């Protein structure tokens, strides 16, 4: 019995070329060999795919910053409508809220329209540490708990690598802003 992986490489690449993004991703997830020969999707691939029925039905939009699909509610209204809408000329410049924060487009106190309401991005206070809290592990390899405090006083916790690895903490900060609990309507 002939399997897909036993096909000649040229034939397999020809088959893969005719698949849409969704099916390429499924095929790449089956084993290491297929993952190695299927090229990662580009921003243009995502833009083409977001107009297909399966992506539209799931309300997926492409983010230029993280180069992946995000749910529609991860974007400010200005990034989902008008010139940034699906099939519009500036759709390729669309950024999710988390990437907008990372790139400095949105900051604390920024006023955005989100789900039809004017909202302001709230503030989270973070304790960023350069050394591990745990004594049992070295500072470069241990995992410590990072404390995030919302403005309402409730703590949130996330594991983050100790040392120079503040990017994970900042990504979590941006993720939490995008999760909607820090939005305050006017």
- The pLDDT tens digits of the residues spanning 134-172 come to 333 333 332 333 333 434 444 444 443 344 444 444 454
CA–CA distance, 29 with 57 (Å, rounded to integer): 22
What pLDDT score was predicted for residue 50? 92
Please list the ranges in the chain whose pLDDT falls under 70. 123-186
Q: Which two structure tokens, joined as six digits, stand for 148?
A: 């995030």
Q: Show me where the domains of the chain are located.
A: 7-40, 41-106, 119-185
Tell me the residue ranges of DSSP E strands in 22-100.
Answer: 60-63, 68-71
Burial class (CB in 10 A: 0-12, 13-18, 19+), 63: buried
Which pLDDT value is given to residue 108? 78
Tell me the CA distances in angstroms from 108 to 34, 112, 151, 177, 179, one per residue in order.
43, 11, 12, 10, 15
Tokens 């991703």, residue?
Answer: 25
pLDDT at 1: 74
**Nearest 10 degrees: CA dihedral of 147, 119, 46, 93?**
-110
Between CA 164 and CA 139 the distance in angstroms is 10
pLDDT for position 123: 61
Of 152, 149, 153, 154, the residue nearest 173 (C-alpha): 149
Q: What is the pLDDT of residue 143?
A: 30
């Amino acid at each position: 019995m002939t399997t897909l992986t036993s096909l000649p490489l040229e034939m397999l690449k020809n088959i893969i070329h005719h698949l849409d993004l969704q099916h390429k991703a499924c095929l790449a997830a089956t084993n290491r060999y297929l993952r190695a020969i299927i090229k990662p999707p580009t921003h243009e691939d995502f833009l083409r795919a977001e107009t297909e029925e399966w992506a539209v039905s799931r309300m997926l939009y492409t983010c230029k910053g993280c180069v992946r699909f995000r749910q529609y509610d991860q974007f400010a209204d200005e990034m989902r409508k008008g010139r940034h809408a699906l099939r519009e000329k500036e759709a390729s410049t669309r950024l999710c809220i988390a990437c907008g924060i990372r790139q400095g487009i949105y900051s604390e106190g920024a006023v955005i329209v989100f789900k039809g309401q004017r909202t302001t991005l709230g503030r989270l206070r973070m304790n960023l540490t350069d050394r591990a809290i745990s004594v049992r592990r070295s500072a470069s390899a241990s995992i410590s708990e990072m404390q995030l405090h919302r403005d309402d006083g409730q703590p949130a916790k996330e594991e983050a690598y100790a040392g120079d690895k503040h990017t994970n903490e900042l990504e979590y900060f941006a993720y939490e802003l995008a999760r909607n609990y820090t939005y305050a309507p006017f």
